[in-house]
Chains A and B, each alone.
Chain A
Amino acid sequence: MSITLFTSTGCIRCKIVKRFLGERGLAYAEKDIKAEGKEDFQKFYVAHRKSIYRGQEGVEFPLLFDGVAIRQGLAAVTAYILAGKGLDGFVSVGTLHQEWVDGLLVSGGDPSRAEEFMELLRYLKGNNMKIRLDTKGKNSHILSRILDEGLAALVVMEVPGPGALYRRITGEEVDPSDLARSIALTPKFPQYQFQITVAPVIEADGTARYLTPGEVAETARQILEITGSKKHPYLIRPFKPESADDPRLKGLDPMAVQALYSYRTAAREYQVLADLGKE
C-alpha cells in the first residue's frame, strides 16, 4: 500500500514524521500543500472532506493516507506508521502545537500493545517534544512505566465520577484498583491536573441525568483519600451534549455555567483548588 504524506512547508512535525518513515525504510510520496502538492491536496480534500479533521488552526498536518486510512497530527501519524491500527484507542488527533504533543490517552488502548505505545512516546520525547498524556484510569501499569522513564511532561486525569458510576458514565468497566493506582501516580508527574466533566449518567431505565454536586464531591473525596492531599488542581468541566454520539445524551440541555458553581462548592470540601473549566 503506498503512503502519501501531505505536509506544509516549514512544518517541524512533518519533518519528524518523514524522519520516522526514513528510519523504517518506508517509501512515501510527499505532497507539500504550499508548494508542488497544492493541487493534489485539493483533489484529496474534495474526495475525503468529511473524514479530514479540522482544528482551531485548520487542517492538522502532517496528514498520512495509505489508501485505507487517514491519520493526522504528529502522534497519530507516527503511531500508525509504527503499529497500523494497533495503537488506535491510545492515540487521536491532537490539538496542541509548538513543542507540545497531545491526543495520547493512556487508558484508551489495548494494554497488550503497551510496548509499541512506549516506543511511540520515546520517539516523540527524543525529538524534543513535550508530551501531554490523558488518562481516565485504566492501564495504570503503563502510566507507571511512563513515569519511571520520565516521558510525560503533563498528565491530565479525568476521573469520570465515583467508582460505582464509572460504567454508567463511560460505558466501560474499570478495575477500581487500576483507577486508584492511576490517581496515586498522576500527582507524581512534573505537571498534572485532575478533572471531571459533569457528564450524564445512564440510569437503569435508560434515561440520562447529570452527575450531582454530591457525586462530584465524592470523586474529589476519593482523590483526597488515595493521595492524602486536598490541594490538587481539580477542574470541573461542563458536558457538551452536541459532541455526544449517544442520542440520549445529544438531546440533553447543556448545563449553564451558573449551575456549575454548586459543583465547585461541593468539590472544595475535599479539593480546595477545585475550579471551573471554561470549556
Chain B
Amino acid sequence: MTYPSVYPTGVTIYDPAKCWNGYTILQAMEQGALLINMNGAEVQLWKGLHGFPNKLLPGGYVFGSTGQRNPSFGMQDQRDLVQVDWEGNIVWRFNRHEYIEDPGEAPQWMARQHHDFQREGNTVGYYVPGMEPLVDRGNTLILCHKNLKNPKISEKLLLDDAIIEVTWDGDIVWEWVCSDHFDQYGFSEAAKNILARDPNFRPSGGGMGDWMHINSMSVLGPNKWHDAGDPRFHPDNIIWDGRETNIIAIIDKKTGKIVWKLGPDYDSSKELRKLGWIVGQHHAHLIPRGLPGEGNILVFDNGGWAGYGSPNPCAPTGIKSALRDYSRVLEIDPVSLQIVWQYTPAEAGFVMPYDSNRFYSPFISGAQRLPNGNTLITEGSGGRLIEVTAKHELVWEYISPYWGHGLNLNMVYRSYRAPYGWVPQLDRPEEIAIERIDVTKFRVPGAAPVGRLRETVVEGVLPYQGGDNALCVGQAED
C-alpha cells in the first residue's frame, strides 16, 4: 500500500461530538501496555508488560503477560496471563498449563497463551453496558498452544490450539483441543493433501505446523438466536476463528462439536458466494446483547494470504491459496449470512479496486462495536486505529508512533476502547477536537509553500476525462 515516508503519528482526526469517548488500550511495540485518551495523550504505560492482547478491566486493571517464550522453541507462546493493577502489582496470574524445559532456559510452568482470553462476566473482552468482567473472582477462558501429532492432519508435529477454562485459583476445569475435530471442518481433498505436506510449518522448536492458527475466542452470551430456539447459539457456546484456514466456527461448550461454521471455502452456496471469501481473518465475535448490532458477527476480514487449497500461480503448492490485497470489516447475520454492515476501502472513500490497498492489514487487527453504534477498527499492520460511525464517517484516527527494533513495524495487534469510568484513578480528560488537515495544503518545514510561481494557459486543450474506464486496469465487475 502507498504510504508516504513522512506522516504524522498520534491522533490525527478527532470529532468529540461524534465519537464514543473513552480510553484506548493497546500494546505499543517494545514499550508495554499503553493507555491513551482521545487526544492521544499517554495517560499510563505499564512498562514492559507484554500483551497478546492487553485488555482493560474496571478499576484500572489491565490484562497482559510477563513475557514470551524464547521463539527458538515456541511460537507466540506467552508464558503467563496476568492481571495487573494501576500501580503495576500482579494481582492474578495463571501459568500452570504446561511444564516447559527449553535448552538454556529455566524450567518453568507456562500458560502458552496466545491471541485471546476472556474473563467471566463479559463475553468479548471489551466494554458492554451491563456486562462487567469480574476483577476479583471468576473463571477465565484462555486460548493456548499444545504440541501434538495427529496423523489425520499430517505426520509432522503440530502446533495445535486449545481453549482452557481456569478458575480463579488456577485449576483447569474445561479443555477443548482444535485438532480433535478435524473431520468437522469440511476441508476439501486438495486442502487435506497440502495440509498433510505442509501444515503451515514454522521453524520454532525444530519445526511445528501452525495449521489452524486460531486468533480469537469469545463466548456468545445471551442472544436473539438462542432466544428464538436455535441451539447452535447457546449462550455458553464459544466462537473462534482460524487465520490459516479462513474458518470461523462456533463450538458447543458441552460437547466440543462444531455447530456453526463459515469456511474454509466460500464458493459452495449462493449465500457464501455473495458474502465473498473471508481471508486470513481476525477477531470474529458475536456482538453482545447491549450493543447495536447484537447477535451479528463482527470480523476483521484481513485479505492477505491464507487457506489451503489447489495450487495457483500465487500459491504454487496450495498453501495460502486465497489472496486479496485489501481488508474488510464485516458485520454478518449468522443465519442468513447477509452482510448487515461493512467497512471496506469503498466505504473508506478509496476508489476500488485501484486504491483498495489503502485500507489493508494482511495480519493482526480487530474491530470493536461501541455503544453509540460506531466501530473502533484496528488496522493493525500500520499501527492505525480508527473510529468510524455507522454511516462510515471517520471521526477518530490514531497512528502508533512506536516502531520496534526487533521488528521494524509500528504494528498494533488489537486495541480496545473503554469508558473513562473504568479508570477511577484519573480525572476525566479534556476532549479537544482535531480537525482533519487538508493534505493538499499541508507542507513540512523547508518545503515550498502551496501555490505556483507561474501558470500558463494553453489554447485548445480539452477538459480532463473522468471515470474509471480511463484506467488501464478494469474493475472487478468487468
Q: Could you tell me which A residues sit within 8 Å of B by CB distance?
A: 231, 258, 261-262, 264-265, 268, 272-273
How far, in angstroms, from A231 to B107 measured CA to CA in the complex? 12
From A231, A261, A268, contact of B175 by CB (8 A): A261
The answer to whether B96 and A265 touch across the interface, beta carbons within 8 angstroms, is yes
Q: Could you tell me which B residues sit within 8 Å of A by CB distance?
A: 96, 99, 101, 109, 170-175
The answer to whether A261 and B99 touch across the interface, beta carbons within 8 angstroms, is no
Q: List 21 A-B contacts (CB under 8 A).
A: A231-B99, A231-B101, A258-B173, A258-B174, A261-B171, A261-B172, A261-B173, A261-B174, A261-B175, A262-B171, A262-B173, A264-B172, A265-B96, A265-B170, A265-B171, A265-B172, A268-B96, A268-B99, A272-B99, A272-B109, A273-B99
Apart from A261-B171, A261-B174, A262-B173: 18 A-B pairs, beta carbons within 8 A: A231-B99, A231-B101, A258-B173, A258-B174, A261-B172, A261-B173, A261-B175, A262-B171, A264-B172, A265-B96, A265-B170, A265-B171, A265-B172, A268-B96, A268-B99, A272-B99, A272-B109, A273-B99
How far, in angstroms, from A43 to B266 measured CA to CA in the complex? 55
CB-CB under 8 A from B174, the residues of chain A are: 258, 261
B404 to chain A, nearest CB (A): 34
CB-CB under 8 A from A273, the residues of chain B are: 99
Closest to B171 in A: A265
Closest to A264 in B: B172
CB-CB under 8 A from B172, the residues of chain A are: 261, 264-265
CB-CB under 8 A from B171, the residues of chain A are: 261-262, 265
Closest to A273 in B: B99
A270 to chain B, nearest CB (A): 11
A34 to chain B, nearest CB (A): 29
How far, in angstroms, from A268 to B96 measured CA to CA in the complex? 9
CB-CB under 8 A from A264, the residues of chain B are: 172
Greatest chain A CB density within 10 A among B101, B170, B172, B174 is at: B172
Closest 9 CB pairs of A and B: A272-B99, A265-B171, A261-B172, A261-B173, A262-B171, A258-B174, A265-B172, A258-B173, A261-B175
Main secondary structure of the interface of A (DSSP, over half): helix
How far, in angstroms, from A175 to B51 measured CA to CA in the complex? 53
A233 to chain B, nearest CB (A): 12
Closest to A265 in B: B171
Closest to B173 in A: A261
CB-CB under 8 A from A261, the residues of chain B are: 171-175
B316 to chain A, nearest CB (A): 37
B268 to chain A, nearest CB (A): 32
CB-CB under 8 A from B170, the residues of chain A are: 265
B108 to chain A, nearest CB (A): 10
How far, in angstroms, from A272 to B99 measured CA to CA in the complex? 6
Closest to A259 in B: B173
A55 to chain B, nearest CB (A): 20
CB-CB under 8 A from A262, the residues of chain B are: 171, 173
CB-CB under 8 A from A231, the residues of chain B are: 99, 101
CB-CB under 8 A from A258, the residues of chain B are: 173-174
How far, in angstroms, from A85 to B407 measured CA to CA in the complex? 71
How far, in angstroms, from A268 to B170 measured CA to CA in the complex? 12
How far, in angstroms, from A231 to B96 measured CA to CA in the complex? 15
How far, in angstroms, from A258 to B175 measured CA to CA in the complex? 8
Closest to A230 in B: B99
How far, in angstroms, from A100 to B96 measured CA to CA in the complex? 36
Closest to B100 in A: A272
How far, in angstroms, from A23 to B109 measured CA to CA in the complex? 56
Closest to A258 in B: B174
CB-CB under 8 A from B173, the residues of chain A are: 258, 261-262
How far, in angstroms, from A231 to B109 measured CA to CA in the complex? 13
How far, in angstroms, from A268 to B95 measured CA to CA in the complex? 12
A230 to chain B, nearest CB (A): 8
B401 to chain A, nearest CB (A): 43
How far, in angstroms, from A264 to B96 measured CA to CA in the complex? 11
How far, in angstroms, from A85 to B40 measured CA to CA in the complex? 84
A228 to chain B, nearest CB (A): 15
Closest to B172 in A: A261
CB-CB under 8 A from A272, the residues of chain B are: 99, 109
How far, in angstroms, from A261 to B170 measured CA to CA in the complex? 11
Closest to A278 in B: B180
CB-CB under 8 A from B175, the residues of chain A are: 261
How far, in angstroms, from A27 to B224 measured CA to CA in the complex? 75
How far, in angstroms, from A231 to B99 measured CA to CA in the complex? 9
B257 to chain A, nearest CB (A): 14
A235 to chain B, nearest CB (A): 14
B95 to chain A, nearest CB (A): 12
B99 to chain A, nearest CB (A): 3
A90 to chain B, nearest CB (A): 32
CB-CB under 8 A from B101, the residues of chain A are: 231
Closest to B174 in A: A258
How far, in angstroms, from A258 to B173 measured CA to CA in the complex? 6
B183 to chain A, nearest CB (A): 15
A201 to chain B, nearest CB (A): 22
A191 to chain B, nearest CB (A): 15
How far, in angstroms, from A272 to B98 measured CA to CA in the complex? 7
CB-CB under 8 A from B109, the residues of chain A are: 272
How far, in angstroms, from A268 to B174 measured CA to CA in the complex? 16
A273 to chain B, nearest CB (A): 7
Closest to A266 in B: B171
CB-CB under 8 A from B96, the residues of chain A are: 265, 268
Closest to B97 in A: A268
A131 to chain B, nearest CB (A): 23
A221 to chain B, nearest CB (A): 15
How far, in angstroms, from A264 to B172 measured CA to CA in the complex? 8
A43 to chain B, nearest CB (A): 40
How far, in angstroms, from A127 to B140 measured CA to CA in the complex? 53
